[in-house]
A and B are shown apart, each in its own frame.
Chain A
Amino acid sequence: MSSMKRITTIAQRELVDFARDWRTILTMVLVPLLLFPLLFIGLPLVIGGEAQELAATEVKVLVRGDDVPSDFLGLLENRTVDVIPGPAVSNHTVDDQAVRNGSLHMVVQWNLSGEIHEVHLRHLSTSSLSADARQRVLLSLSEWESIEREHRVTEAGLNASETLDPVRIDPASEDLASEGEVQGWLLSSFIPLILTMWVVTSAIQPSIDMTAGERERGSLEALLCAPARRWELLAGKWAAVSAIVLIGVLLQLGGLMFALTFLAGPSLLSTPDVGVLALVLLTVAVFAFSVMVVASELALAIRSKSVKEAGALLAPASLAVIVPAVLVQVINLDGVEAFWFAVPVVNVLLAMRELLLNQVDPLHTLIWLSTTTTYTALALWYAQRQFNREDLVLSPS
């Protein structure tokens, strides 16, 4: 029997065993598949519903002062504001208390000093209604100020439009990036991060189950008695965990593309403009990143004597991948230094960002491909060392 056949047999058994658990199907298949479609349908619905509800709610605003322009009050009332007029005061204790207990949502103190209108606003930023009342007041103020400005300029004998708006931007100005390139740029700002989170978290459970879990259940000893070399056992497990992770990634990306194509509105994202070579390299990058992370997690899980210990080790260790992934989001791709493409984790994620922008740089590609392969080989070498340890099977008696 060839090594490849043994590895396939082991991987196949691991996958069947893993897929028999309904929780696995739920977390590894349904969640990645439905994540983006649900986000694209559910999130706008929730946000839109909440915004509508807030906009329809009347807020109470106490406007203090003797010189409050009546047209400003009219603008406020147009924004569903219940205006409560009041005299100017110097002590705000009672007003503040009213805002805090919700009987008022905001207080506006208006004072006319010569030609200047001094406006003092008091609101509670931790209250949604109070924050929204402030927003309505600011919009009304801006609108009133604009009218007042035009009125004063005209009174001074000037052309309001030319005086107040001396710079005109040509409405025909164009973004040289195509719509597809813009979509790629937008996707590159969050795809690597989401992918990292998914790969890191989804590999933890199967990595632990197939190593420390097997050890704890006693099935590892039976497996070690079989005529398979240890590296074949490891390769089978590595292939199985990688397959699980990659299936999740593919489902997640499939869900994203479905959501972008069929669910996203015209103002939202659409399909990015990525060439064939970039797409192929992107696939390689996703694959390389996944197998590298899986190899590292397997290596750590094998080291652990129990499922509990493996969990305690892998959860904080995943930060070693997530933190660089966050760093990748802030690296400026214009004129990016080549050394970034050699930094573990950063290299392949940065490559994904570049490729989503349809940029294929031969030097960058060479660096991230060779370094990722090296890091994966190192992780596997370490995992193999751990898997060769005799105390993999404990409890001598």
Chain B
Amino acid sequence: MPDELPLVTLDKVSKQFGDVHALDGVTARIDRHTSTALIGGNGAGKTTLLRILAGVYRPSEGSATFADGDLTLHRRRIGVMTESTGLHLRLTAWENIRFHARLFGIDDGLARSRSESLALRLGLGAALDRRTEGFSRGMRQKTALIRSLVHEPELLLLDEPTAGLDITSARAVRALIESLVEEGRGVVWSTHDLTAATVCDRAMVMHNGQLVADGQVGALLVEHDAQDLEALYLRLTKEATREFKAGMEALS
């Protein structure tokens, strides 16, 4: 159940890169005990939003605050798994994890025990001391996930965490995320996979840099008379496109 005080508050957040409006007036909240699916097509603004939540980008307009302050000041409380995994391939999985753990000020012994425990849950145990250059995409995803969790963040930002994973591994990742949410963490999960998104408590649907829907998955389906998330997404993005065109025509 979400606490009264949101973990992160986004207030009319916009982000511009030159003439490109990557995000346009996004207002939302990320709660503890909640997994949020961030849904949208290519160029919808998902990654930009994740980077703002991670403190890599600052909003051009609006504000993004972490419970009681600026997001960029709270990096220690955030875990990020980027889409490209960002592993150093000449290092072992453990060395990759240890490097980040050290930057977060985590003792090597503690980081090792946490890593072993997480690796066991994700089926990566034996590979922890192998160089990641020989890893499959799935193994790299799991290593990056462990790296993002080793400092036990309050907010976990995941960009396509199950892409490239086999069915068993994807289930293990989803189970791990569910248990993290139960522990009280907030999880934001950016994905194209609407089936995977179904397991999330909430959905945020992005389209052309705008947040076109945000709420409990069940409530959104009822509100928009949609059978599933795919139907909901198609309906919302069509509506948004139609509204956008109408707005443009009115302007001209």
Contact = CB atoms under 8 A, between A and B. Distances in A.
Interface stretch (B98-106, B176-184, B219-227, B232-240): B98-106
Given A227-B75, A396-B17, A390 B57 contact: yes
Nearest to A219: B86
B207 interface: no
A350 to B, nearest CB: 40
A227 B76 contact: yes
Interface in B53-78: 54-58, 75-76, 78
Contact residues of A: prevailing secondary structure: helix
Given A225-B54, A225-B75, A397 B44 contact: yes
Contact of A397 (B43, B55, B87): B43
Interface string A5-21: 11001100100110011
Contact of B103 (A220, A226, A391): A226
B86 A223 contact: yes
Contacts of B104: 226-227
A20 B89 CA distance: 10
Contacts of A10: 103
Nearest to B105: A1
A222 B80 contact: yes
B113 interface: no
B46 A222 contact: no
Contacts of B56: 221, 224-225, 390, 393
B22, B43, B100 interface centre (most CB from chain A within 10 Å): B100
Contacts of B144: 222
Interface string B23-42: 00000000000000000001
A6 B103 contact: yes
Contact of B75 (A16, A226, A390): A226
Interface string A186-227: 000000000000000000000000000000011111111111
A13 B99 CA distance: 7
A117 B88 CA distance: 79
Interface residues of A, number: 28
B90 A21 contact: yes
Contacts of A397: 22, 42-48
Nearest to A222: B86
B99 A9 contact: yes
A395 interface: yes
Contacts of A9: 99, 102-103
Interface in B93-123: 95, 99-100, 102-105
B20 interface: yes
Residue from the set A21, A220, A224 with the largest chain B CB neighbour count within 10 Å? A224
Nearest to A394: B17
A268 B168 CA distance: 71
Interface in A213-260: 217-228
Contacts of B58: 390
Contacts of B48: 396-397
Contact of A218 (B76, B85, B91, B102): B85
B20 A396 contact: yes
A89 to B, nearest CB: 73
Interface in B150-192: none
A395 B47 CA distance: 9
A218 B45 contact: no
Contact of A16 (B22, B76, B95): B95
B88 A218 contact: no
A396 B47 contact: yes
A305 to B, nearest CB: 13
Interface centre among A226, A228, A391, A395 (most CB of B within 10 A): A226
B46 to A, nearest CB: 6
Nearest to B147: A222
Contacts of A395: 47
Contacts of B195: none
B22 A396 contact: yes
A220 B102 CA distance: 16
Contacts of B105: 1, 227
B12 interface: no
Contacts of A221: 51, 56, 82, 84, 86
A208 B135 CA distance: 25
Nearest to B206: A397
A391 B20 CA distance: 13
B90 A20 contact: yes
Contact of B55 (A1, A16, A225): A225
B17 A228 contact: no
Contacts of B78: 225
A17 B20 CA distance: 36
B75 A218 contact: no
A255 B172 CA distance: 55
Given A225-B54, A390-B58, A396-B17, A13 B88 contact: yes
A217 B84 contact: yes
B17 A391 contact: yes
10 contacts: A1-B102, A9-B102, A10-B103, A20-B131, A220-B86, A221-B56, A391-B17, A393-B57, A396-B47, A397-B42
| Closest 10 A/B residue pairs (Cβ) | A218-B84, A222-B86, A20-B90, A227-B75, A1-B105, A225-B80, A219-B86, A226-B103, A396-B22, A397-B47
Given A20-B90, A222-B87, 13 more contacts: A10-B103, A17-B88, A217-B86, A219-B87, A221-B82, A222-B100, A222-B147, A224-B56, A226-B104, A227-B103, A227-B104, A393-B56, A396-B15
